Amino acid sequence: MDEYSKYRNPKRFFRPKNERILGGVCSGIAERMGWDPTLVRIAAVVSMVTGVFSGVVFIGYLITWAVTPSRRIRRDLSEEEASFWMGVSDRPKVTLSNIRYKFMDLEDRMQGIEKAVTSDEWRLRKQFRDLEKG
């Protein structure tokens, strides 16, 4: 199993079963974005009551409630899992950029190893080691 499929993605959007008031949509949005659920709930209520698009917000809430899966919020991530998911971006351009830089770093390291192994100094040191062995 590779590194990316080893852990269940905690960044996926869902409605939490254990931390919700009405349908869990506001709590799910807050969990996904890393915000305080109370502030998201207040913003949703204020926009539904006073906003120009109050009907749109309410219908959007209902649609999101109907199509979003629900599950329990996992707070028991191991230190290794938490560290892994902190380094994973959910934006494809950022992920592609990170992969590109990892490969560039690997390429630089491989060139350094190749330069060291093919150098005259390495060959000379190998000959000294061979002489010391007998």
pLDDT tens over the chain, length 134 residues: 445 445 455 556 767 766 667 778 888 888 777 788 888 888 888 888 887 777 788 888 888 888 887 766 656 667 777 666 666 666 667 777 878 888 999 999 999 988 888 888 888 888 899 889 87
pLDDT of res. 86 = 64
Pair 39, 69 in one domain: yes
pLDDT of res. 107 = 94
Burial class of residue 27 (count of CB atoms within 10 Å of its CB; 0-12, 13-18, 19+): buried
pTM to 2 decimal places: 0.47
Pair 57, 120 in one domain: no
Pair 63, 21 in one domain: yes
For residue 5, the enclosing domain spans 1-80
Pair 57, 95 in one domain: no
Question: Closest Cα partner for 85 from 31, 30, 19?
Answer: 31
pLDDT of res. 119 = 85
pLDDT of res. 108 = 93
Pair 1, 66 in one domain: yes
Pair 93, 60 in one domain: no
Length of the chain: 134
Burial class of residue 88 (count of CB atoms within 10 Å of its CB; 0-12, 13-18, 19+): middle
Pair 10, 67 in one domain: yes
pLDDT of res. 109 = 93
Tell me how many domains the chain contains.
2
Pair 73, 95 in one domain: no
